[in-house]
Amino acid sequence: MPQEYRHILRIMGTDVQGTLKTVYALTKIRGISLSLSNAILKKSGVNPDVRVGFLTETEIDKIEEIIKEPTKYGLPNWLFNRRKDAVTGKDIHLMSADLVLRTKMDIDKAKEIKSWRGYRHAYGLKVRGQRTKTTGRAGKALGIKKKTFGRKSGGS
């Protein structure tokens, strides 16, 4: 019996289009790269070329389980986005809202301790050593507004 096609799926709290191949559909979830997506699909035994709309519920549950606990399934820690976490000291992988929140907390911490990175973030400058002399000028005041005068003084 063929599986019924679904146009939109919900995987890890993210809506994914059913027309995408499984390997690319997983990358729509914030925090999952293409290489991590390939590793997850290999561990779950799902064909990466099949359209995600044709996946069964058991396959989706298996994928979500691997995404939630990648260390339990033996995925290499170099795929994780938070290695040697400052709080726990463990290699963890964050997704969606957790990733955004932790990144914001890291930036706030850098600002608080007044590190160089924190200073650059606080003043809206480039953080990673890029050139600033000629680029990154958008959003700043452009030129000088000329002062308008009332009447021209004429000789009478």
Query: Which pLDDT value is given to residue 1?
Result: 44
CA angle 80, 76, 59 (to 5 degrees): 85
pLDDT of 142 reads: 60
Rounded CA-CA distance 154/148 in Å is 17
DSSP string, the chain: -PPPP-SEEEETTEEEETTSBHHHHGGGSTT--HHHHHHHHHHHT--TTSBGGG--HHHHHHHHHHHH-TTTTT--GGG-SB-S-TTT-S-B---HHHHHHHHHHHHHHHHHTT-HHHHHHHTT--SSS---SSS--TTS--S-PPPP-SS-----
Report yes or no on whether pTM surpasses 0.85. no
pLDDT at 153: 59
Cα separation, 129 vs 125, in Å, equals 10
Output the CATH code of domain 8-79: 1.10.8.50
Q: What is the pLDDT along the chain (156 residues), one digit of tens a residue?
A: 456 888 898 988 889 999 999 999 999 999 999 999 999 999 999 999 999 999 999 999 999 999 999 989 999 989 998 888 888 888 888 888 888 999 999 999 999 999 999 999 998 889 998 998 888 887 666 666 667 776 665 665
How far apart are the C-alpha atoms of 141 and 101, rounded to whole Å?
A: 31
The token pair at 61 is 């549950």
Write down the pLDDT at residue 82.
Answer: 87
Q: For the chain, which residues make up each domain, given as ranges?
A: 8-79, 95-128
